[in-house]
Chains A and B, each alone.
Chain A
Amino acid sequence: MQDGNSRTASDILATTQTWKEAGRSVALATVVETWGSAPRPTGSHLVIDADGNFEGSVSGGCVEGAVVAEAIDVIETGKPAMLEFGVADETAWRVGLSCGGRIRVYVEPVN
């Protein structure tokens, strides 16, 4: 049912609302699927603003940089994006999950 993760996840949703209401352009990233030993469970959130400020996590810090960069694009275009990270992915050489897991992250603008 509930755990530390879901509590953190909902704190991020509260932060998302606060940032948006303060007039910042915001995107929300959500872990929608995991395989293997992914560091953060499905439903974990990361909120990002247009300046690259962020709160929360979608991994143990391994791929947040790449998600933030994508999120800034999502904020500019207004279109959601699906990202995938993991050792099976060629991007793993640049940004990957050291634990060997694989995750899919949905990034959407908050309007």
Chain B
Amino acid sequence: MDLSLLRQMNVERAARRAAILVTDMTAGSQRLIKRNVAYSDDPLAEEFDKRFLSGKSGLVKTDAGEAFLTVSVPAPRLVLIGAVHISQALVPMAEIAGFNVSVIDPRTAFATEDRFPGSSLLADWPEDVLKVEPLDPYTAVAAVTHDPKIDDYPLMEALKTGCFYVGALGSKKTHGKRLERFREAGLSENVMSRIEAPIGLDIGAASPQEIAVAVLASVIKALRKPEGVSP
């Protein structure tokens, strides 16, 4: 492996950008594919699409024989909009499951260190926080404040960014109104259909803690069984 390729790969990783190192197993030659640099002309383009979603390394057949794809994708993140009761349960659960979790809520009565000890808690508007820490495709977003003033912006950003999971708390009626607002903002039906609402896997969750389990289950499902990727 060429040191400069290795350096580039590590740079992408540090910046939370996905990349694939392609090693031709016959010739031994290598090249680096970056997710944010067009690669559609590459004969393996379709394979790259799948691998960027699944994050799995592996061998593929090529015209020349075999190539090994070393897939590097960022660690999964969960961004919770709303420092509410559900989030208090969800933060430790998601951390145990291996996610980097942050909570955003501009309401300082909710976003307190007492309620979220040791968590990455940002007591600011999502608009301001996401400017500094932008979303990316390896981030899940769950909006649970019930307040459109807080939830709408990060939800739309999550859809535009292609976050691997986008969920929003609220009844079917609340979600209907949300969709009306998003439609007026110019979002397509196709894009809006990616929002999971009501939020969480349908396990009949009743308490905030149970809803947290349901949300985490949905996030893991979106991560491990992404649509369009065979297991």
Contacts and interface: CB of A to CB of B under 8 A. Distances in A.
B75 A2 contact: yes
B70 A2 contact: no
Interface stretch (B50-58, B127-135, B153-161, B169-177): B50-58
B21 to A, nearest CB: 9
Nearest to A11: B13
B72 A6 contact: yes
Contacts of A106: 23, 25, 68
A80 B226 CA distance: 35
A7 B74 CA distance: 8
A1 B1 contact: no
Interface in A32-50: 32-33, 41-43
A30 B98 CA distance: 24
Contacts of A30: 57, 68, 70
A16 B73 CA distance: 18
Interface string A1-25: 1111011011001101100110000
Given A28-B1, A32-B59, A13 B98 contact: no
Interface in B12-26: 13, 23, 25
B144 interface: no
Contacts of B75: 2, 6-7
Nearest to A28: B1
Interface in A89-111: 106, 108-111
Q: How large is the interface on B (under 10, 10 to 19, 20 to 34, 35 or more residues)?
A: 20 to 34
Contacts of B223: 1-2
The dominant DSSP class at the A interface is mixed
Given A6-B73, A17-B7, A110-B1, A1 B53 contact: yes
Contact of A1 (B13, B23, B54): B54
A110 B6 contact: yes
Contacts of B28: 80, 108
A111 B10 contact: no
B164 interface: yes
Nearest to B77: A2
Given A13-B6, A106-B25, 15 more contacts: A1-B55, A1-B223, A1-B224, A2-B74, A3-B98, A10-B72, A16-B6, A17-B10, A30-B57, A30-B70, A33-B59, A42-B57, A43-B56, A43-B58, A111-B2
The 3 residue pairs across chains A and B that have the minimum distance between CB atoms: A43-B57, A1-B55, A32-B68
